[in-house]
Chain A
Amino acid sequence: MLSIKNLYASVEGQEILKGINLEIKPGEVHAIMGPNGSGKSTLANVLAGKDDYEITADEITFLGENLLDKSPETRAKDGLFLSFQYPVEIPGVPMVNFIKTAVNEHRKHRGEKELTAGEFLKLMRKKMELVELKTKLTNRSVNEGFSGGEKKKNEIFQMAMLEPKLAILDETDSGLDIDALKTVANGVNALKSPETSSIVITHYQRLLDYIVPDFVHVLYHGKIVKSGGKELAFELEEKGYDWIKKENGN
Chain B
Amino acid sequence: MEEKDRIINDVTQSEYKYGFVTDIETDIIETGLNENVIRIISAKKNEPEFMLEFRLNAFRKWQKMKMPDWAYLKIPPIDFQKISYYAAPKTEAKYESLDEVDPDLLDTFNKLGIPVEEQKHLAGVAVDIVMDSVSVKTTFKDTLAEKGIIFCSFSDAVKEHPELIKKYLGQAVPVADNYFSALNSAVFSDGSFCYIPKGVRCPMELSTYFRINAANTGQFERTLIIADDDSYVSYLEGCTAPMRDENQLHAAVVAIITMDRAEVKYSTVQNWYPGNKEGVGGVYNFVTKRGICRGVSSKISWTQVETGSAITWKYPSCILLGDNSVGEFNSVAVTNNYQQADTGSKMIHIGKNTKSTIISKGISAGKSNNSYRGLVKVMPGAKNSRNFSQCDSLLLNDTCGAHTFPYIDVQNKSSIVEHEATTSKIGEDQIFYCNQRGIDTETAIGMIVNGYAKEVLNKLPMEFAVEAQKLLQISLEGSVG
Which residues does chain A contribute within 8 Å of B427, judged by CB atoms?
88
Q: Across the interface, do A101 and B433 meet the contact criterion of CB distance under 8 Å?
A: no
User: In the complex the two chains form, what is the Cα distance from A141 to B450 in whole Å?
Assistant: 12
User: In the complex the two chains form, what is the Cα distance from A141 to B2 in whole Å?
Assistant: 16
Closest partner residue, chain B, to A48 (CB atom): B436
Q: Across the interface, do B438 and A77 meet the contact criterion of CB distance under 8 Å?
A: yes
Interface segment among A22-30, A90-98, A125-133: the answer is: A90-98
Q: Across the interface, do A92 and B433 meet the contact criterion of CB distance under 8 Å?
A: no
Q: Across the interface, do B447 and A97 meet the contact criterion of CB distance under 8 Å?
A: yes
Q: Across the interface, do B447 and A106 meet the contact criterion of CB distance under 8 Å?
A: no
Q: Does A219 contact B (CB under 8 A)?
A: no
User: In the complex the two chains form, what is the Cα distance from A72 to B443 in whole Å?
Assistant: 14
Q: Across the interface, do A92 and B448 meet the contact criterion of CB distance under 8 Å?
A: yes
CB of A90, distance to nearest CB on chain B (Å)? 5
Grouping DSSP codes into helix (H, G, I), strand (E, B) and loop, the B interface class, with mixed when no group exceeds half, is helix
Known: A88-B430, A97-B1, A101-B5. A158 touches B437 (CB 8 A): yes
Q: Across the interface, do B448 and A82 meet the contact criterion of CB distance under 8 Å?
A: no
The one of B1, B2, B437, B448 in contact with A102, judged by C-beta atoms closer than 8 angstroms, is B437
Q: Does A71 contact B (CB under 8 A)?
A: yes
Known: A72-B432, A88-B430. A98 touches B437 (CB 8 A): yes
Interface size on A, residues (CB 8 A): 32
CB of B458, distance to nearest CB on chain A (Å)? 11
Q: Does A175 contact B (CB under 8 A)?
A: no
Q: Does A214 contact B (CB under 8 A)?
A: no
The one of A92, A101, A142, A158 in contact with B454, judged by C-beta atoms closer than 8 angstroms, is A92
User: In the complex the two chains form, what is the Cα distance from A20 to B246 in whole Å?
Assistant: 59
The one of A92, A94, A99, A105 in contact with B452, judged by C-beta atoms closer than 8 angstroms, is A92
Q: Across the interface, do A102 and B452 meet the contact criterion of CB distance under 8 Å?
A: no
Chain B 429-461 per-residue mask, 1 if CB under 8 angstroms from chain A, else 0? 110111111111101000110111010000000
User: In the complex the two chains form, what is the Cα distance from A92 to B454 in whole Å?
Assistant: 7
Q: Across the interface, do B438 and A102 meet the contact criterion of CB distance under 8 Å?
A: yes
User: In the complex the two chains form, what is the Cα distance from A128 to B2 in whole Å?
Assistant: 21
The one of A71, A87, A91 in contact with B433, judged by C-beta atoms closer than 8 angstroms, is A87
Q: Across the interface, do B433 and A88 meet the contact criterion of CB distance under 8 Å?
A: yes
Which residues does chain B contribute within 8 Å of A49, judged by CB atoms?
435-436
- Chain A CB count within 10 A is highest, among B435, B437, B439, for B437
Closest partner residue, chain B, to A52 (CB atom): B428
Which chain A residues in 69-123 approach chain B with CB under 8 Å?
Answer: 71-73, 76-77, 81-82, 84, 87-88, 90-94, 97-102, 105-106, 109, 117
Closest partner residue, chain A, to B427 (CB atom): A88
Which chain A residues in 28-79 approach chain B with CB under 8 Å?
Answer: 48-50, 71-73, 76-77
Known: A101-B5, A101-B447. A73 touches B452 (CB 8 A): no
Q: Does B301 contact A (CB under 8 A)?
A: no
Closest partner residue, chain A, to B432 (CB atom): A50
Which residues does chain A contribute within 8 Å of B1, judged by CB atoms?
94, 97
CB of B447, distance to nearest CB on chain A (Å)? 5
Q: Across the interface, do B436 and A76 meet the contact criterion of CB distance under 8 Å?
A: yes
Q: Across the interface, do A90 and B438 meet the contact criterion of CB distance under 8 Å?
A: no
Q: Does B345 contact A (CB under 8 A)?
A: no
Q: Does A162 contact B (CB under 8 A)?
A: yes
Which residues does chain A contribute within 8 Å of B435, judged by CB atoms?
49, 71-73, 76
Top 4 nearest A-B pairs by Cβ distance? A92-B451, A72-B435, A102-B437, A93-B451
Q: Which residues of B contact A (CB under 8 A)?
A: 1-2, 5, 9, 427, 429-430, 432-441, 443, 447-448, 450-452, 454
